[in-house]
Copies of this chain bind each other. A is one copy, B any other.
Amino acid sequence: MAYRQTPARLQKDGEQRERILALALSRVADGGFTALTMQGLADDAGIATGSLYRHFSGKGELAAEVFARASQHEVDTLGTLLKASGSASERLSRGLHQFAARAWGSRQLAFALIAEPVDPEVDEQRLIYREAYAALFVTLLEQGIAAGEFQPQPVQLTAACLVGAIAEALIGPLSPPARAARDAGQSRVSLEDVSDALVTFCLRAVGARPSVLPKPASPTTATEDPP
């Protein structure tokens, strides 16, 4: 960058960078990381592609920053729910229901964040954010065990298992083929099906009392899609 870094210039640069990131997030929310192209983004922002490269070394760095911002927001939201009032079981249940509902409400974005095949820079961020989610569950597990609500267990490993279970339970129903089937009226999996099953799985897994599990809608597997 050869131009002079005056305070006014720095501020203008910072504002442009924020604007670009907001436009980039909106592209990912609409069409996944596939839709995040440097040319398309420059068009959205009404700037030359070269100006984008003043802010980001390339698609990988840009995608990683969009990912990190969106994920941090989800981590913060889940953290607030898990730290709210109520028993550890209630907080886990409420946090998971809300997390699933947020993913359901922004399916393209949620799938992009969790599982869309994308640049290795985003995969790096995924590993980092999985640890951030796991740290939230470690705290909750320690509280639940201390309160006698959950069975004693190695909390780091259980927290990792929870993070994996949650991500994987959401990947299928949020994936583009599943969304297309639902839009075409061919799928009967609802948000309630997914989040009740997920909450039951997680509460059982940590050894919560059976009385805190969601009531089963039906004793069969009839509300599920075929594989």
Contact = CB atoms under 8 A, between A and B. Distances in A.
Interface stretch (A10-18, A45-53, A87-95, A202-210): A202-210
Contacts of A207: 204
Contact of A156 (B151, B160, B172): B172
A122 to B, nearest CB: 8
Q: How many monomers of this chain does the complex have?
A: 2
Contact of A171 (B127, B152, B158): B127
A227 B158 CA distance: 12
Interface in A22-37: none
Given A127-B117, A167-B164, A227 B156 contact: yes
Contacts of A120: 117-119
A116 B117 CA distance: 13
A70 interface: no
B197 A158 contact: yes
Contacts of A135: 227
Given A118-B120, A119-B120, A157-B224, A168 B130 contact: yes
Q: Which of A154, A156, A205 has the most CB of B within 10 A?
A: A154
A192 to B, nearest CB: 11
A138 interface: yes
A204 B175 CA distance: 28
A197 B153 contact: yes
A143 to B, nearest CB: 13
Contacts of A205: 165, 201-202, 204-205
B157 A164 contact: no
B169 A166 contact: no
Nearest to A195: B157
Contacts of A162: 165
CB-based closest 4 A-B pairs: A164-B168, A117-B123, A164-B164, A205-B205
